[in-house]
């Protein structure tokens, strides 16, 4: 039993038969991020790698930009809390809340999206070429790494990879959290993301694309679907979206110049 | 082409072959809810039935409790805005934001959850018995109604049903939004929910359970998985959770006394 899952007794029904059985479900816990001693947000998440989640959340929200912005970071999954002290100018909690909530709410980063659409300087023209064979191979590895999903069917996975393989991998009950965990781990470990490929098990909505843009990631790959807004944004931002990546099949929605056919 | 989807040109790769093809993706738009003339939140959603979404969101957040709390409600999907005027004591926007954001953030309703756990009076002891055959039949209808999903693979569905069939159905790119849409439609149309079954295509996390509890819905059924926290809450709140409802198979996670075997 991993720390991500929990056993419990259920009634399993198959047609006209019912039996009492032991089953495994995914764990879900509240996690409060305290920023400079004030509670910033409470997320519902898988209670694992909570420091990565907190660092990635602050990065995705634009509250920190690099590891050097963090003075101290301490997390306790049992307590359901992560405490972060930042360096430099300390914005008040109220400023951050107003900015984030009013402009973006749970659809995080809309203000960023709006400015991004009209800002040429954010456009990514860099990024390696990537072959369809490498994408297929990475997605195969990605699926195999998702142990929790295979045991409970209840979590999303995210990873950062390069052509050599998967570098960072994590899972969470929330698809945003899973991505924040891999971004947070990269940030804390000093792993550069600007030539990486973001793999996700979830749909590619615009807020996922905003996370990739902040980390200067040129590729977002999913076995699921993108939205029209994320495709539009990806063209503005110079990010390549690959969706429905299943086996040797995949759809390239934008910036296909970066994708080469072949192994 | 429905108003939920949009056509665009993609590169489809199958093994070593690539072709330029027309594809359909699901639409995603920002929707700002203005409460008593102040912007409350911006959601990313499918731009359809935005009035239902706004009403359901306000209900799920505990800002309104019944239709009579709404003085006026007007939505414009093209403008990406819904304007709501409420009756009675008008809480300031700041009160609502502080309460919601600090205690709950994107994991909505934690404060409610915490109090619910310790409050016997919220426990639902009512609710009709439901047969496994009816659940299987409802889920079959539910899947067939999800046209957008079948064309794009990019949305979640939600429905309210009773033993006679599905009464309210909607879809959205967000699983929370899809549920808010059916709750909002029920509220605006005066459909009672306290003997209904909530069907969802998505995972049952604790925030989904809180929505059901607010609407006094005794059954939550999904073809996907619940979390441990939602199962725990469902026992405290007296809600029956059925997960992995696929064909004639299903798992009953809590309050199985309400489920009968048979057609």
Q: What angle do CA B242, B247, B251 make, to 5 degrees?
A: 25
Residue of A27, A106, A110 lying closest to B227 (CB–CB): A27
ipTM > 0.90 (yes/no): no
Verify whether the Cβ–Cβ distance B39 to A102 is below 8 Å.
yes
Chain A residues within an 8 Å CB radius of B109: none
The nearest CA of chain B is from the CA of A159 a distance in Å of 21
Q: What is the pLDDT of residues A13-54, one digit of tens each?
A: 999 899 999 999 999 998 989 999 888 888 889 999 999 999
Residue A62 or A111, more confident: A62
Quick check: A128 and A258 in contact, CB under 8 A?
A: yes
> Smallest Cα–Cα separation from A241: which of A179, A199, A184?
A199
The nearest CA of chain B is from the CA of A153 a distance in Å of 6
The nearest CA of chain B is from the CA of A111 a distance in Å of 10
pLDDT of residue A155: 87
Q: Give the mean pLDDT of B76-98.
A: 76
The nearest CA of chain B is from the CA of A114 a distance in Å of 11
**What are B93's two structure tokens?**
């926007």
Residue of B16, B105, B106 lying closest to A262 (CB–CB): B16
CB pairs under 8 A between A and B: 193
Question: In which band, very low, low, confident or very high, does the pLDDT at B93 lie, cut at 50, 70 and 90?
Answer: low
- Measured between CA atoms, the residue of chain B closest to residue A133 is B15
Q: Where are the alpha helices (DSSP H) in A12-131?
A: 50-60, 93-103, 110-117
Verify whether the Cβ–Cβ distance B252 to A11 is below 8 Å.
yes
Q: Cα–Cα distance between B118 and A56 in angstroms, integer?
A: 33
Quick check: B180 and B60 in contact, CB under 8 A?
A: yes
- Give the mutation candidate from A2, A19, A25 for the B interface (greatest B CB count, under 10 A): A25
Bridge partner list, B7: B24
pLDDT at B133 over 60: yes
pLDDT at B102 over 50: no
B45 has catalytic annotation: no
Active-site entry in A8, A13, A106, A261: A106
- Measured between CA atoms, the residue of chain B closest to residue A250 is B13
Active-site entry in B106, B125, B190, B261: B106
- Give the mutation candidate from A6, A28, A116, A229 for the B interface (greatest B CB count, under 10 A): A28
Verify whether the Cβ–Cβ distance A110 to B205 is below 8 Å.
no
Percent of chain A exceeding pLDDT 70 equals 84
Verify whether the Cβ–Cβ distance A13 to B103 is below 8 Å.
no
pLDDT at B95 over 90: no
CA-based torsion, A53, A56, A62, A68: positive or negative? positive
Chain B residues within an 8 Å CB radius of A8: 228, 231, 253
Q: Cα–Cα distance between A49 and B94 in angstroms, integer?
A: 32
Residue A189 or B78, more confident: A189
Question: In which band, very low, low, confident or very high, does the pLDDT at A159 lie, cut at 50, 70 and 90?
Answer: very high
Chain B residues within an 8 Å CB radius of A250: 12-13
Q: What's the predicted TM-score (pTM) here? A: 0.89
Quick check: A255 and A237 in contact, CB under 8 A?
A: no
Chain B residues within an 8 Å CB radius of A25: 225-228, 231, 253
Quick check: B35 and B181 in contact, CB under 8 A?
A: no
Q: Give the mean pLDDT of A80-99.
A: 72
pLDDT of residue A34: 92
Give SS3 for B22: strand
């Amino acid at each position: 039993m991993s720390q991500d899952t929990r056993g419990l007794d259920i009634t399993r029904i198959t047609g006209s038969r019912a039996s009492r059985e032991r089953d495994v479900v995914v764990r879900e816990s509240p996690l409060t991020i305290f920023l400079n001693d004030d509670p910033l947000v409470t997320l519902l998440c898988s209670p694992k790698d909570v420091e990565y989640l907190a660092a990635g959340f602050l990065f995705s929200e634009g509250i920190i930009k690099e590891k050097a912005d963090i003075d101290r970071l301490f997390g306790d999954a049992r307590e359901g809390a992560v405490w972060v002290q930042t360096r430099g100018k300390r914005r008040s909690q109220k400023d951050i809340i107003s900015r984030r909530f009013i402009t973006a709410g749970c659809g995080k980063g809309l203000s960023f999206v709006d400015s991004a659409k009209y800002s040429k300087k954010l456009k990514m023209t860099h990024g390696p070429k990537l072959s369809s064979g490498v994408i297929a191979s990475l997605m195969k590895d990605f699926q195999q790494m998702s142990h929790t999903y295979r045991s409970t069917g209840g979590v999303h996975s995210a990873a950062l990879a390069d052509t050599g393989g998967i570098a960072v991998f994590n899972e969470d009950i929330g698809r945003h959290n899973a991505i924040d965990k891999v971004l947070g781990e990269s940030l804390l470990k000093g792993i550069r993301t600007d030539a990486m490929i973001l793999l996700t098990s979830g749909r590619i909505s615009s807020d996922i694309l905003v996370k990739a843009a902040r980390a200067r990631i040129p590729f977002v790959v999913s076995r699921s679907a993108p939205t029209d807004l994320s495709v539009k944004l990806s063209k503005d931002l110079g990010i390549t979206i690959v969706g429905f990546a299943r086996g040797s099949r995949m759809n390239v929605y934008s910036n296909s110049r970066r994708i080469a056919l072949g192994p």
